[in-house]
């Protein structure tokens, strides 16, 4: 037996154990540290370095942070805090700066007096960004000197060196993300501004500046500590500074809403002088809640123990006040957690010394003590607010009472729909053409516009896996419609039963009957409106379907171009122009054909080319004919064309609907689909030039 055969026979042994040193584990498995190597992970690098600067401000050591987007996809983050220590570390025998930047789990936040409260673990965030950057430079101003060290993919290039004297203090981190790690390096200005604005609300008295200097190659003086006033260039920039904290943030969120009560509730309290609870809330005339939570200024989109404490205290306080003041009658049932959240805008922020997140990306707080801390601080303060503001309290109770009554009506309507669906075998009584397979993972539901498109789709589909549901007209705008009114709509009722997941508190994604739900509407204003109405329905009541990647939008072609025996479908005017140019066709001499006019031949210019593999004489010209059909709607395609271009999994183009920024999505739906006219008008006027509308 050979040595290799002997090794295989022995199986798993010590020789199979791979040891990764330094920051190698981060480069080997970046997703474990930043969640993804897509856009979220790329921007997470900025958040990690900014969090370190922000934590200096949280501790009272800094009052200004700055983020600059530099040429060459470089990012620079500056703070005027204490500056990272540069003296030799006892354990590593190298500079503390080098230790922090090149070693996992090394930093001032694991113990000692460096940070009493922080948003994350300094050594993890900084070293991870270093590992995933092709280049990083850290400049430190402290103790009367200026110190610098450079790195390449997490490894130092030189030892920390003193660059000269300085009477400043703070840290400047410049990094360039590694294109070997990230799918695409493209920073989103709007996303960065939104995140940093939010952080400025969370740290009172901290000025946050963000500058886009990507177009100024060769004009950036890297010796400047802060660019904002000294850059000398007219670059896009924003500066944020808020004294109101979360109260200002709630005002910002509700700027397009109609408040139910005048005074915004706000409390900030530090029971032990270190850990603190900060909460602001206001009810608005809406049916959707907006609750944002933070732990040590890190966003926790999945909530956690602090949010559980808030909801428990809120429900208890409103029930107690309503009973005590006879606003809830004796025979009426108590408010539920869902009742008290309808129409609320709330921000909950806790700062905890020994913080525990669930997962490296810190999306959910796991610290058990946070629940009781929030329950106590918020509960006491909110009870006092209700007693001191009886008009506001009555308005809030009335709002919640309306939600309770609507919940009862919605439950009756929902039960009726589900009962009816069950009696009919969970198939639609209307126009659904279901597929033959019972396996949801291979099933698709096409939601199409009108009977004409429905007829073509039903004839052209793959009956085994593709179901067709035609819509008659436009569905109800559900942005401000309660569940009982929604389910009174036959079109929405049919769709709910077809999906199989139920709706509301009985929603169960495991019962989804189709793995792909595909919205297929015409490429005109009405089609866009129908798509928007459907997306509003899915976002507000079937959000999990979007989050789990089940919602798609079909991309039917705009043109069918026939040149000789070659047929090509193109999806935009730009693609049409490019293809005709490749063929040598001059559009100035072409006559467009529409589907209404039928398919006619359009003479093209004489061109020198080869057709069907046969060569013409050198320099000879031959006449060509181009057939070009412009599709105005899916119903104008015959079944074969519709399947070939829009339904065939091998050839079609689908766009998956995703939620990149939940807060931004909420705001857009509020503006476009809500009842307030002014915000919608402003949005349309501001973005009108971006629209490409085919009327």
Q: In this structure, are strands 559-563 and 516-520 parallel, antiparallel, or unpaired?
A: unpaired
Backbone angles phi, psi at 463, to 5 degrees: -60, -25
Buried b (16+ CB within 10 A) or exposed e, 47-68: bbbbbbbbbbbbeebbebbbbb
Alpha helices in 336-489 (DSSP H): 337-341, 369-388, 390-423, 450-460, 483-486
Q: Which residues are catalytic?
A: 449, 522, 524, 526
Q: What is the pLDDT of residue 670?
A: 67
- Looking at 3.50.50.60, 3.40.50.300, 3.40.50.1100, 3.40.50.670, the CATH number of the domain 424-556+655-690 comes to 3.40.50.670
CA angle at 163 for the pair 158 and 165, rounded to the nearest 5°: 155
Q: Do domains 24-240 and 424-556+655-690 have the same CATH topology?
A: no
The CATH code of domain 246-406 reads 3.30.230.10
Q: Check: CB of residue 477 under 8 Å from CB of residue 487.
A: no
CA distance 640 to 461: 9
CA distance 103 to 99: 6
Q: Check: CB of residue 626 under 8 Å from CB of residue 605.
A: no
Q: Check: CB of residue 540 under 8 Å from CB of residue 670.
A: no
Q: What is the pLDDT of residue 75?
A: 95
- Per residue in 286-343, pLDDT tens? 888 999 999 988 889 889 999 999 999 999 999 999 999 999 888 889 999 999 999 9
Q: Kindly indicate whether the domain formed by 24-240 is annotated with CATH number 3.30.565.10.
A: yes
Q: What is the pLDDT of residue 671?
A: 64
CA distance 221 to 224: 6
The two three-digit tokens of residue 681, written as one number = 């008008």
**Mean per-residue pLDDT over the chain, rounded:** 82
Q: Is 68 helix (H, G, I), strand (E, B) or coil?
A: strand
Q: Which residues of the chain have pLDDT under 50?
A: 1, 7-20, 107-114, 119-123, 422-427, 429, 591-620, 622-623, 695
Q: Check: CB of residue 516 under 8 Å from CB of residue 445.
A: yes
CA distance 86 to 166: 14
Q: Is 128 helix (H, G, I), strand (E, B) or coil?
A: helix
Sole residue written with tokens 């009555």: 394
Gyration radius of the chain over CA positions: 30
Q: Check: CB of residue 278 under 8 Å from CB of residue 339.
A: no
Cβ-based neighbours of 285, under 8 Å, separated by 6 or more: 257, 258, 259, 260, 343, 675
Question: Bridge partners of 298?
Answer: 295
pTM of the model: 0.65
Give domain limits for the chain: 24-240, 246-406, 424-556+655-690
């Amino acid at each position: 037996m050979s040595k290799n055969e002997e090794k295989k026979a022995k199986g798993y042994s010590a020789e199979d154990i791979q040891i990764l040193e330094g920051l190698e584990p981060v480069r080997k498995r970046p997703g474990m540290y930043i969640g993804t190597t897509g856009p979220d992970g790329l921007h997470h690098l900025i958040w990690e370095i900014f969090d370190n600067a922000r934590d200096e401000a949280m501790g009272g050591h800094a009052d200004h942070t700055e983020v600059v987007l530099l040429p060459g996809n470089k990012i620079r983050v500056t703070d005027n805090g204490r500056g990272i220590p540069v003296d030799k570390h006892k354990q590593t025998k190298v500079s503390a700066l080098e230790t922090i930047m090149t070693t996992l789990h090394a930093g001032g936040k694991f113990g000692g007096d460096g940070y009493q409260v922080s948003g994350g673990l300094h050594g993890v965030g900084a070293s991870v960004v270093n590992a995933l950057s092709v280049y990083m430079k850290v400049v430190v101003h402290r103790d009367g000197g200026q110190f610098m060290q450079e790195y390449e993919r997490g490894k130092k290039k030189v030892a920390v060196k003193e660059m000269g004297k300085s009477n400043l203090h703070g840290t400047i981190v410049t990094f360039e993300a590694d294109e070997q790690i990230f799918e695409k390096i493209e920073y989103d200005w709007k996303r960065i501004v939104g995140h940093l604005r939010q952080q400025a609300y969370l740290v009172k008295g901290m000025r946050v500046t963000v500058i886009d200097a990507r177009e100024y190659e060769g004009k950036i003086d890297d010796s400047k500590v802060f660019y904002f006033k000294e850059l000398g260039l007219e670059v896009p920039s924003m500066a944020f500074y808020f004294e109101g904290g979360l109260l200002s943030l709630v005002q910002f969120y509700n700027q397009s809403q109609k408040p139910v009560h005048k005074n915004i509730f706000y409390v900030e309290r530090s029971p032990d002088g270190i850990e603190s609870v900060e909460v602001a809330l206001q009810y608005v005339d809406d049916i959707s809640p907006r609750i944002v939570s933070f732990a040590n200024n890190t966003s926790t989109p999945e909530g956690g123990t602090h949010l559980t404490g808030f909801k428990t205290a809120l429900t208890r306080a409103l029930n107690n006040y309503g009973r005590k003041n006879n606003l809830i009658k004796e025979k009426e049932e108590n408010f539920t957690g869902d009742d008290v959240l309808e129409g609320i805008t709330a921000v909950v922020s806790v700062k905890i010394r020994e913080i525990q997140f669930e997962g490296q990306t810190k999306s959910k707080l796991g610290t058990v003590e946070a629940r009781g801390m929030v329950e106590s601080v918020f509960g006491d303060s909110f009870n006092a607010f209700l007693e001191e503001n009886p008009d506001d309290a009555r308005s809030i109770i009335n709002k919640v009472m309306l939600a309770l009554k609507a919940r009862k009506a919605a439950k009756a309507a929902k039960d009726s729909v589900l009962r009816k669906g069950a009696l009919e075998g969970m198939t639609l009584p209307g126009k659904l053409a279901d597929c033959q397979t019972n396996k949801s993972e291979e099933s698709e539901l096409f939601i199409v516009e009108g009977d004409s498109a429905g007829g073509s789709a039903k004839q052209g589909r793959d009956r085994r896996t593709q179901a067709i549901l035609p819509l008659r007209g436009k569905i109800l705008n559900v942005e401000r419609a309660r569940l009982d009114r929604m389910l009174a709509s036959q079109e929405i009722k049919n769709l709910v039963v077809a999906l199989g997941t139920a709706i509301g508190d009985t929603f169960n994604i495991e019962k989804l009957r189709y793995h792909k739900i595909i919205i297929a509407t015409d490429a005109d204003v009405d089609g866009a409106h129908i798509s928007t109405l459907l997306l509003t329905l899915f976002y507000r009541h079937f959000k999990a379907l979007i989050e789990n990647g089940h919602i798609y939008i079909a991309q039917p072609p705009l043109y069918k171009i026939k040149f000789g025996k070659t047929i090509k479908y193109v999806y935009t005017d730009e693609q049409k122009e490019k293809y005709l140019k490749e063929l040598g066709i001059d559009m100035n001499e072409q006559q467009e054909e529409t589907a209404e006019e039928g398919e006619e031949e359009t003479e093209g210019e004489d061109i020198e080319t080869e057709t069907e593999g046969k060569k013409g004489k050198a320099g000879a010209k031959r006449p060509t004919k181009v057939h070009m059909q412009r599709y105005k709607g899916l119903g104008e395609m015959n079944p074969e064309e519709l399947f070939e271009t829009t339904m065939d999994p091998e050839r079609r183009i689908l766009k998956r609907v995703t939620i990149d920024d939940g807060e931004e999505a909420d705001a857009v739906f509020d503006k476009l689909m809500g009842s307030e006219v002014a915000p919608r008008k402003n949005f349309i006027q501001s973005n009108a030039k971006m629209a490409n509308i085919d009327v």
